[in-house]
Chains A and B, each alone.
Chain A
Amino acid sequence: MSLPALDFYRSMTDRVSKTLAERDMENKILIQVGSATCEHAAGSQVVAEEFVRHIRASGRKDIVIHRTGCTGRCSREPIVGVQVPGQILVKYERVNRDLVHRIFTEHIQGSAPVMKHVLDHTTAVLPEREFLFCEGSRCQRSGSNLRETFMAMLEARGIEPNRVHVAAASCFGVCSLSGGAPATYVLARPEKVIYRVNGEADLAAILDGHVLGGQVVEALRVQEEPIALEFLERYGDVAFFNRQSRIALRNAGVVDPESIDEYVGLDGFKALATVLGRLEPDWVINELTKARLRGRGGGGFLTGTKWGLARKQPDTTRFIICNGDEGDPGAFMDRSMLESDPFNIVEGMIIGGFSISAQKGFFYIRAEYPLAIRRIQHAIDTCRAQGLLGPNIMGSGFDFDLEIRLGAGAFVCGEETALIRSIEGERGQPKVRPPYPTDRGLWGHPTVINNVETFANVSAIVRYGGDWYSRIGTEKSGGTKVFALAGKVRHTGLVEVPLGTTLSRVVNDIGGGVSGGKQLKAIQTGGPAGGFIPAAMQDMEVDFEPLQKAGSIMGSGGMIVLSEDDCMVDIAKFYMAFSQEESCGKCTPCREGTTRILEILERITEGKGVMEDLDKLHRLSRLCQRTSLCGLGRAAPNPVLSSIKHFREEYLAHIQDKHCPAKKCVALIRYEINAEKCIGCTICARNCPVECITGTRKEVHVIDQAACIKCGNCFDVCKFAAIDRV
């Protein structure tokens, strides 16, 4: 008997492969331009227009622009990829109008890539081939380093490293797919082939057959397709990317976010077809439970359990909500997923809706994310038009629809009961739990609320199985987590790593360490509800429990790197000011507690703190934690408590010595002119807004401390480092 959902899926893929074949992208030169809020801000729209103009002027029909979302490599945007058939994709960083012209004339028309502007310029010449060896730190592979052996073999044959490039990459996820014994896997580009290599003999076969013979060595070829194959094939040569394990972000920077055909071409809606083909909601819930997928919004509640609870309710009017109210300052993974791979989130929501037998689902997205809203709306409309939403989805008899509701700039609405109130059209104030939303949520009916990233993982788990997913993470939490790496770090952007990866690996190996050669002081995780992990603890594994033990939380995945230049009291004050402003005012401990805590912190940073304040901070924080109504108030003191715990000496310096070690707190610093270095150029005096610097040309200048407002202008403009901040 043939199942309607599978028939539906088959006819859909047939149609899509025909459309994609007509587009004939494989035989054309593709110019891939990122299109997401951050890419646009960096100027990608201008870049795309410029390419269009060049293509038109050249009159060539074999060059097309391919729009993608963002890869999450923020500091190097706009990123442009040029794919010439049969060659390795070349990615350029920080492309501007002038560079567009050079790329077009030199690379596309002259076939000489502009190597100077290649992303992370790893090589001086574009190699013909590239072999990426998996060297994931988590599996214990025995034996010699096969990558080095291979490099030696190439050298012995006189093959230049410029022609055939060999590099190390992170786990491709092939072993976890087969569940077999770990081996070394090698990704060959541009052929997009993965080999399983067990020793030198295999390497020799690849050398003879593939490198010299130009033929794929079928005997060693792996049949499984790891989930991030397309991503690795495009970005596998860049260390920032190949040290990641992309599941939730697998299509970001690969797929056109507004093309359902491309999404289907990447096995999109295959998971939905499987689910609607089986028609067993409990099977999906069971797979999620096996996967040990925990809520990615921060709470870490097991998704399978949550869905199971809603499913058991006698009330059959049920809702499912995607929480896209990403309000944590410093977190932008949800925005990126909504903008770069919207169909995947929609697919995850439909599967969720089916699993709890909901009739309707809601996307709750911040109004500050207009592009995300537009892309999700487009995805919903397209799905509805193609029978993937609405009545009788994929002919399976399951009816379900989605709708977007906009947030309006209230941080507390990320809390699930407040979010429900907001969808209901009320002020977004939380309610007492229990009852939990799975019992009585939206309009009093059972409701499942999950974060964007949680839904982004659902289709992958259905396709590859819960066991596969659980093998990737730790004993308690399966899979990967996306972190938004920002602050004083060299490579800012989105990083997806298996849970259990160390903080140091994320910040140093992937993020490239602290920017400007400064010392790492702490890593802040979890936003205003999180805490600080001191540099000494950077070898800690990132997972829900260890972070909590250290006084922080996973949160939605914001990760802010702080250097020696950052004052911990000041940063704690910053977060407290945020929580205080965002407190909805419903319960007293949070409303008053955050206000008083902030006052004390302000006092300390102004040099008016007394020792008693530390005790007061502690008592107030504990009170706020224990008695607040919702998560906002309960977590708001975390930055204060964890900074006191790990950086008590900084508080003492502020209180007892009236000194800010990081020289950040304005009231506790002053500027002085170093008489030995000052050459009397007058630039400081000219830039002083209160004209408190005296001195004539070629004479040592002096700052009038009584009049100085400590704006720091003189410090910034002095070209001779003659101004000291003390």
Chain B
Amino acid sequence: MSDHCHGSTDNWPELERGYRAMLPEDVLAFIDASRGREHSESMLIATLHMVQGHFGHLGPGHLEAIAQLMQIPLAKVTGVATFYHYFRLQPRGKYLINVCLGTACYVKGAEKIAQKLRDELGIHFGETSKDGIFSLESTRCVGTCGLAPVVMIGDEVHGPLTPSQIPTLLEGYLARAAEDLAPAAASDSR
């Protein structure tokens, strides 16, 4: 089936080169390996995970490249990418802050933690701070209810938290972000 589709486009080799250039090597290898396998279209969600893992989000160009290389209609790729909460279509900050609003956290005052974060960062859920360091999102239970209320920053879970601990917590990450930038700045000046 895929051969038929490819063959119907005169400039496919040229297009393919362009699409391949949009995706990292490991994703291309994954797509190539699943091509021709039974139910290869079922690998779409895994592919989206890989691409988001690499870029931090799924841009329009990524979706189109995935659609073309996996030979799945772009409408379906977009449909799947927008259906699942885990996939983000917008770029995000260096650190993603996920406030858990699961039941256990909710009854332990997650709303106040969320409010404090909104106040401190000056952004709402779904937004990224101006300096590009933090993005704020909410999540439904990260499964560490015993530590409620919790906030997940990147891959790290913090809890139990009180609103007054939030500024110190954020400062820690700001310092880390500054550290990451520092060596780059040093080499620039040389």
Contact = CB atoms under 8 A, between A and B. Distances in A.
A379 interface: no
Interface in A141-173: none
Contacts of A411: 140
B41 interface: yes
Interface in A424-478: 424-429, 443
Contacts of A406: 45-46, 49
Contact of A427 (B42, B79, B156): B79
A425 B43 contact: yes
B107 A560 contact: yes
Given A367-B86, A368-B142, A406-B46, A425 B107 contact: no
B107 A405 contact: no
B117 interface: no
Interface in A317-365: 326-332, 335
6 smallest CB-CB distances across A and B, nearest first, come from A74-B146, A329-B102, A41-B157, A408-B84, A409-B86, A409-B85
Given A37-B157, A330-B103, A368 B49 contact: no
A423 B42 contact: yes
Interface residues of B, number: 45
Given A335-B143, A493-B146, A562-B107, A408 B102 contact: no
B99 interface: no
Interface in A363-400: 367-370
Interface string A484-526: 1011100011000000000000000000000000000000100
Contact of B83 (A40, A410, A560): A410
Contacts of A369: 143
Contact of A487 (B49, B85, B107): B107
A424 B42 contact: yes
A40 B157 contact: yes
B106 interface: yes
A562 B106 CA distance: 11
B41 A41 contact: no
Interface residues of A, number: 59
B14 interface: no
Given A41-B157, A408-B48, A409-B86, A492 B143 contact: no
Contact of A711 (B76, B87, B115, B141): B115
Given A327-B141, A367-B49, A571 B107 contact: yes
Given A77-B146, A330-B102, A488-B107, A425 B41 contact: yes
A143 to B, nearest CB: 39
A411 B83 CA distance: 11
Interface string A77-92: 1000000000000000
A295 interface: no
B104 interface: yes
B22 interface: no
Contacts of B79: 427
Interface stretch (B4-12, B24-32, B147-155, B182-190): B147-155
Contact of A329 (B80, B104, B108, B157): B104
A424 B41 CA distance: 7
Contacts of A492: 104, 145-146, 148
B83 A428 contact: yes
B39 interface: yes
Contacts of A594: none
A37 B144 contact: yes
16 contacts: A37-B144, A74-B144, A74-B145, A328-B141, A329-B101, A331-B143, A405-B42, A405-B46, A406-B46, A407-B84, A408-B85, A410-B84, A410-B86, A486-B104, A486-B145, A575-B103
A261 B76 CA distance: 45
Given A329-B140, A332-B146, A405-B42, 12 more contacts: A38-B146, A328-B141, A329-B106, A330-B104, A425-B39, A425-B80, A427-B80, A486-B104, A487-B103, A492-B148, A571-B103, A574-B106
B144 A332 contact: yes
Contact of B158 (A41, A711, A712, A716): A41
Contacts of A74: 144-147
B159 interface: yes
Contacts of B107: 487-488, 560, 562, 566, 571
A561 to B, nearest CB: 8
Contact of A327 (B72, B76, B140): B140
A425 B45 contact: yes
- Among A327, A332, A689, A716, chain B packs the most CB atoms within 10 A around the CB of A332
Contacts of B113: none
Given A330-B145, A424-B42, A408 B157 contact: no
A368 B103 contact: no
B84 A409 contact: yes
B48 to A, nearest CB: 7
A406 B52 CA distance: 13
B85 A331 contact: no
A578 B100 CA distance: 13
B136 interface: no
